[in-house]
Amino acid sequence: MPINIFHPDQILRIEKQTMVEQNISAEVLMERAGQVFTDWFIQKYQNKEIHIFCGQGNNGGDGLVIGRFLSLYFYKVNIWIVPWESNTSPEFIVNLNKLNTRQGIQIFQNFEFDSISKIPAEAIIIDAILGTGTNRSVVGVMAQIIDKINALPNLKVSVDIPSGLSASEITEGAAIKADWTLSFEFPKLAFLFPENQDYVKNWEVESIGLSKNAELLETPAFRVTDQKDLSKIYHPRTRFSYKHQNGHALIVAGSSNMCGAGILAATACLRSGAGLVRLATLESCKASLFAQQAEIMFCPTELIFQDQRKHYQAICMGPGLDEEVVEYFLNHPIPDIPLLIDAEGIRFLAQNPRFFAKLPSQCVFTPHLGELSLLLGLKDDSYSMLQAAIDWCKETGKHMVLKGAYTACIAPNGEVWFNHTGNPGLATAGSGDVLSGIITGLLAQSYSMMDAMRLGVWLHGKAADLALELQSHESLCASDVSAYLGRSYKVLLEV
């Protein structure tokens, strides 16, 4: 089952339906969430002093349950009850009454804000002040407390979501800067925005047993690609397959100053499994190509549109190209086969939209945020840019791979899949060229557009992760990603 991302109101409906189906109370569900967090926490941190900041809603109730359970494992538990402006939840009151100070739990109520600064630096702070129900900026007394906590050097762990962070939009007010967040059942969309990187440094998801039937009643706003799902769409080669059955791809890429862009894209295309790969580039790049990857066929750029074009199953156009080559390509009839447009191809089309009418029906754009801004004529926060990209795909009927830390694969029907493989080492020259080559190679092998996008992005990120066995984030090069694609495929099937 895919990893779904729901809006807070959808999660609330799933929780309520779960309680009906499983005949349990909100108190029992809270107990279950507290146990899940505790089990996860004690695997990471042992024999520590703990300070739990609890609001007086359901997130705070989770914090009280966690404090009670941690005390049973002989943690030194301190609970700080945060001043509350809203109605206190019944489950919070029930769990507050369950606390037993004889178990070593110390409770702070009506505390002076300056006393927060006296928490020992080696203690761990657990944040259970506000949950996913936060729908406005945190200001006033609550913001002062959050700022005090953030000023401390202590390790901070948030329950479900960092307090003050909007689950689905960009946060403007105060929010906890969590080192770790354990999210219940589903990741939150906010975890995936670069604007929130200071609030969500690391996160994991654990199930609290919510109903799968209830989950199926809701249409997820977004999804995260899961390895098990991808292993099901993988096309294994047969013993009797031959190169022409595995697809013939054309890579139109590279220029006198960027021969490497074409070579990187073509090599990745080959490594992704395409049976035949032809690189259309300048004659001056020919020697470099054959020196680095002899299996790739060469085609002079000016001969792209000779008879060979009818034999291709997929085309990639854009990495490292000069503008005049992009215009030359778009001024000729383009076969109605999958076309991937990257880099200079995107920039040219953004400035010359009249060429959109010439694009084939199956077309995927692969911009980073800067290129997306050019394409849309818009520069805004990540959430707004994502929504604008979705609208653009719906309006144009095109697919998009929006590159970033959590790359988004967007379909013309508005469906969005995020990817979670990869690391900061991919922020390097040529990384996007490699990704374009991988996706093009999969398209040549007859994967559907969305399957090729999702699988290609996952393989690309996983190869970068595997390359860290020998490399660091700083030393990782785009060519390392291609070199580890074989390992990436093997890991894909280890489920």
| Per-residue model confidence (pLDDT) at position 309 | 56
Looking at residue 307, its pLDDT comes to 55
| 350 or 48, greater pLDDT | 350
pLDDT per residue as tens digits for the range 422-475:
999 999 999 999 999 999 999 999 999 999 999 999 999 999 999 999 999 999
- In this prediction, residues 185-197 reach a mean pLDDT of 96
The pLDDT score that the predictor gives to residue 286 is 94
Burial letters for 16-48: b for 16+ Cβ neighbours within 10 Å, e otherwise?
ebbbeeeeeebbebbbbbbebbbeebeeebeee
* Tens of pLDDT, residues 244-274: 899 999 999 999 999 999 999 999 999 999 9
Mean pLDDT of 233-252: 94
% of the chain exceeding 90 in pLDDT:
89
Q: Token pair for residue 149? A: 């906590």
Is CATH 3.40.1190.20 the right assignment for the domain spanning 227-492? yes
Mean pLDDT of 116-140: 92
pLDDT digits (tens, 9 = 90+) for 470-490: 999 999 999 999 999 999 999
Residue 185: pLDDT over 60: yes
When pLDDT is cut at 50, 70 and 90, the band that residue 142 belongs to is very high
Which amino acid makes up residue 255? S
Q: Which residue has the higher pLDDT, 264 or 101?
A: 264
The percentage of the chain sitting over the pLDDT mark of 70, rounded to a whole number, equals 99
Q: Are 427 and 401 in contact (CB under 8 A)?
A: no
**pLDDT in the model for residue 101:** 66
Q: How many CB atoms lie within 10 A of CB 251?
A: 35
Residue of 53, 58, 7 whose CA lies nearest to 34: 58
Q: Mean pLDDT across the stretch 198-225? A: 96
**Average pLDDT of the residues of the chain:** 95
pLDDT, position 133: 78
- Tell me the whole-structure pTM to 2 decimals: 0.95
Can you give the pLDDT at residue 102?
Answer: 65
- What is the pLDDT at residue 378? 93
Question: How much is the pLDDT for 310?
Answer: 62
The pLDDT of 321-326, averaged and rounded, is 96
What residues does each domain of the chain span?
A: 3-219, 227-492
Task: Give the model's pLDDT for residue 167.
Answer: 93
DSSP string, 39-88: HHHHHH--S-EEEEEE-SSHHHHHHHHHHHHHHHTT-EEEEEE---SSPP
47 or 84, which is more confident? 84
| Angstrom distance (rounded) from CA 225 to CA 326 | 32
**Overall average pLDDT of the 320-344 stretch:** 95
d(CA 179, CA 191): 12
Taking alpha carbons only, the member of 398, 396, 422 closest to residue 410 is 398
For residue 332, the 8-state DSSP code is: S
Beta strand pairing call for 222-224 and 3-5? antiparallel
Instruction: Please tell me the predicted confidence (pLDDT) of residue 172.
Output: 86
Confidence of residue 302 (pLDDT cuts 50, 70, 90): confident
- With a cut of 80, say whether residue 299 has pLDDT above it: yes
The C-alpha atoms of residue 387 and residue 402 are separated, in whole angstroms, by 11
Convert the pLDDT of each residue in 360-387 to its tens digit: 999 999 999 999 999 999 999 999 999 9
**What is the H or E stretch that residue 391 is in?**
helix 382-396
Looking at residue 325, its pLDDT comes to 95
- CATH superfamily for 3-219 is YjeF N-terminal domain (3.40.50.10260)
Average pLDDT for residues 321-331, to the nearest whole number? Answer: 95
Question: Taking residues 333-349, what's their average pLDDT?
Answer: 95
pLDDT of residue 157: 98
Strands 49-54 and 363-365: unpaired
pLDDT of res. 104: 81
- Whether residue 374 contacts residue 350, with contact meaning beta carbons closer than 8 Å, is answered with yes
46-61: average pLDDT:
94
